[in-house]
Amino acid sequence: MGDVTSTSLTHNVGAPTVNRPSVVAVGTIVWLGSEVMFFAGLFAIYFTLRSTSPGLWAFETSKLDVLYAGINTTILLLSSFACQFGVWAAERGQVRATSWRNWGVVEWFFLTYAMGAVFVIGQIYEYANLVSEHISMSSNQYGSAFYITTGFHALHVTGGLIAFLLVIGRFFSVNKFTHKETTSAIVVSYYWHFVDVVWIGLFLVIYVLK
């Protein structure tokens, strides 16, 4: 009887530790799943309106500056790479740069923020040009579809920029960089990669597959 108890205790002590996923990370992924459905609805609206007015779409899309939009898209995609470099810096516990070649998470996230801000400003400039070409939210079906789809994405990008500022502020406010700060960097990167992927879809649908 004593041997059984001893064996049981030894087995319990030697049991492997289960590493559970972060609740925040899992919650973010679930929330992004709902965002996927939201943007899927926007794509459906765009395709439906386009199928009912092919002539209007052909006329209005000819006014789009594809090269300009492509450059703006490239800036956003490069920001995703900068964001991931920031995550890798966070995972190794490097908050600030040790040299101009070895940036920390703060520098990489500031660069990501700057590129994202350039993208949003670029979209605002594009909106101004399209309005001068008589494409507005209320002009026709194309205007409504264009501004709704791209506008909601711009709002999501702006939300990501705010998140970066909050995370960077948190990095400056803590005395010690811990697993919580690393999780914050990873979670905000999930969101940023998501908005980048969504924009790739929007760019292809709106600017390439006219």
Domain segments of the chain as ranges:
22-208
CATH of 22-208, one of 3.40.140.10, 1.20.120.80, 3.40.50.300, 1.10.3430.10: 1.20.120.80
Residue with tokens 């899309």: 61
Q: Which pTM does this prediction carry?
A: 0.84
Three-state SS string across the chain, please?
Answer: CHHHHHHHHHHHHCCCCCCCCCHHHHHHHHHHHHHHHHHHHHHHHHHHHHHHCHHHHHHHHCCCCHHHHHHHHHHHHHHHHHHHHHHHHHHCCCCCCCECCECCHHHHHHHHHHHHHHHHHHHHHHHHHHHHCCCCCCCCHHHHHHHHHHHHHHHHHHHHHHHHHHHHHHHHHCCCCCHHHHHHHHHHHHHHHHHHHHHHHHHHHHHHCC
Tell me: the pLDDT tens digits for 98-154?
888 889 999 999 999 999 999 999 999 999 999 999 999 988 999 999 999 999 999
Tell me: the pLDDT tens digits for 45-99?
999 999 999 999 999 999 999 999 999 999 999 999 999 999 999 999 898 888 8
Give the per-residue pLDDT at 72: 97
Mean pLDDT, the chain, whole residue set: 88
